[in-house]
């Protein structure tokens, strides 16, 4: 089909079609692969929020303990995972790898995916403990994801912050968020 169309009525290859096909191929296949590859934050294991929050019923603050008290919620490390994974859990290869890593003394250092630029001041304490916002408001349905997300599920930019601040009568002062 495609090979036929690339030739004109006299059977000669149509260069512009070959070129167009080439560009389409780059756009459709190569670019997304580059984009995914470069934006993926490396993590020691493929953590699964769905299994731990839904199946096992662990609360968010079990692993992100400072959400109510500090600016940063914090990420867990081997101390938290060791509560269960020093012995094998479940049957998946990834769970087995967690136990292997812990046994080998790996610290399971997770990397932040979601990061505000340095000029922005944001604190969880104010939003979670005082404004009583749910995690989903800003992080979407991360509780039902089975692999570390490649990008933030909710786009949290300045408009997103301002929209809510306007609706809830919170500050719109530049200096409150930029210090
Ligand atoms: C058993 C531990 C555990 C529980 C429970 C847990 N998380 Fe996590 N969470 C992690 C780990 C490990 C990471 C880092 C790897 C990743 O992104 O999956 C993470 C990453 C995140 C991130 C991305 C942060 C970033 O910048 O990388 C958000 C947001 C998050 N969790 C929200 C939640 C919410 C909301 C809940 C409750 C519904 C929750 N987590 C429950 C372990 C946990
Ligand atoms: C009003 C929006 C908002 C709410 C509500 C919110 N977060 Fe966040 N969260 C953010 C922003 C913004 C960042 C990035 C912070 C930074 O880079 O300084 C972040 C970062 C994180 C991180 C990465 C590690 C860190 O602390 O920087 C985790 C984990 C996290 N949030 C978990 C949670 C959990 C769990 C809840 C609910 C208890 C929650 N967040 C509620 C906006 C929110
Ligand atoms: C309260 C106990 C408990 C804690 C704490 C815990 N896990 Fe698990 N985890 C389990 C159990 C149980 C399973 C097996 C669930 C299943 O297969 O149904 C599991 C499964 C897993 C899997 C396999 C997921 C999959 O997709 O099959 C990974 C990876 C994992 N855990 C990583 C971690 C990491 C990393 C931490 C620390 C941040 C952690 N776990 C903390 C109990 C726990
Ligand atoms: C869904 C609603 C919502 C979102 C989204 C939100 N905020 Fe807020 N924010 C509030 C509320 C409500 C308060 C007031 C809490 C209180 O009573 O102290 C507040 C307070 C603040 C304060 C303290 C202001 C002061 O008076 O000093 C800062 C700073 C702040 N937010 C920054 C941010 C930033 C940065 C973002 C985006 C990353 C953001 N907020 C997103 C609702 C929100
Ligand atoms: C409620 C919090 C909040 C307030 C109030 C706020 N900003 Fe921002 N601003 C942000 C966040 C969050 C970002 C980072 C957005 C991103 O990285 O996508 C940002 C980014 C910026 C940037 C960098 C360019 C950009 O768009 O990313 C400039 C410049 C800026 N803000 C100026 C201002 C000025 C001027 C005011 C007052 C009129 C103001 N901001 C008020 C939260 C706020």
Q: Which ligand is nearest to the CA of 162?
A: 5
Give the distance (Å) from ligand 2 centre to CA of residue 92.
29
**What local confidence, expressed as pLDDT, does residue 40 receive?**
76
pLDDT at res. 30: 52
Instruction: Please state the domain extents for the chain.
Output: 2-39, 49-74+113-179, 76-109
pLDDT in tens, 131-156: 999 999 999 999 999 999 999 999 99
Task: Give how far the C-alpha of residue 93 lies from the chain's centroid of Cα atoms, to the nearest Å.
Answer: 22
Token pair of 126 as six digits: 């104010």
C-alpha distances in Å from residue 166, one per residue of 13, 163, 172: 60, 5, 7
CA 11–ligand 2 middle distance (angstroms) = 61
- Six token digits for residue 49: 């929020």
42 DSSP assignment: P
**Residues 120-141: what's their mean pLDDT?**
97
Cα 158 to middle of ligand 5, angstroms: 5
Ligand 1 in contact with 62 (CB < 6 A)?
yes
- CA 117 and chain centroid, separation: 16
Give dist(CA 168, CA 126) in Å, integer: 13
């Amino acid at each position: 089909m495609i090979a036929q169309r690339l030739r004109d009525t006299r059977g000669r290859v149509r260069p512009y079609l070959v070129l167009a096909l080439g560009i389409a191929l780059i756009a459709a296949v190569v670019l997304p692969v580059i984009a995914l590859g470069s934006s993926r934050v490396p993590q020691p294991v493929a953590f699964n929020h769905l299994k731990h929050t839904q199946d096992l019923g662990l609360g968010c603050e079990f692993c992100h303990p400072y959400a109510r008290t500090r600016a940063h919620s914090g990420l867990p490390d081997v101390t938290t995972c060791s509560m269960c994974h020093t012995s094998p859990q479940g049957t998946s290869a990834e769970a087995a790898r967690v136990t292997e890593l812990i046994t080998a003394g790996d610290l399971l250092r997770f990397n932040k995916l979601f990061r505000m630029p340095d000029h922005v001041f944001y604190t969880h304490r104010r939003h979670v403990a005082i404004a009583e916002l749910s995690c989903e408001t800003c992080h979407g349905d991360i509780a039902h994801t089975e692999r570390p997300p490649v990008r933030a599920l909710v786009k949290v930019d300045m408009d997103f912050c301002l929209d809510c601040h306007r609706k809830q009568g919170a500050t719109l002062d530049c200096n409150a968020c930029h210090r």
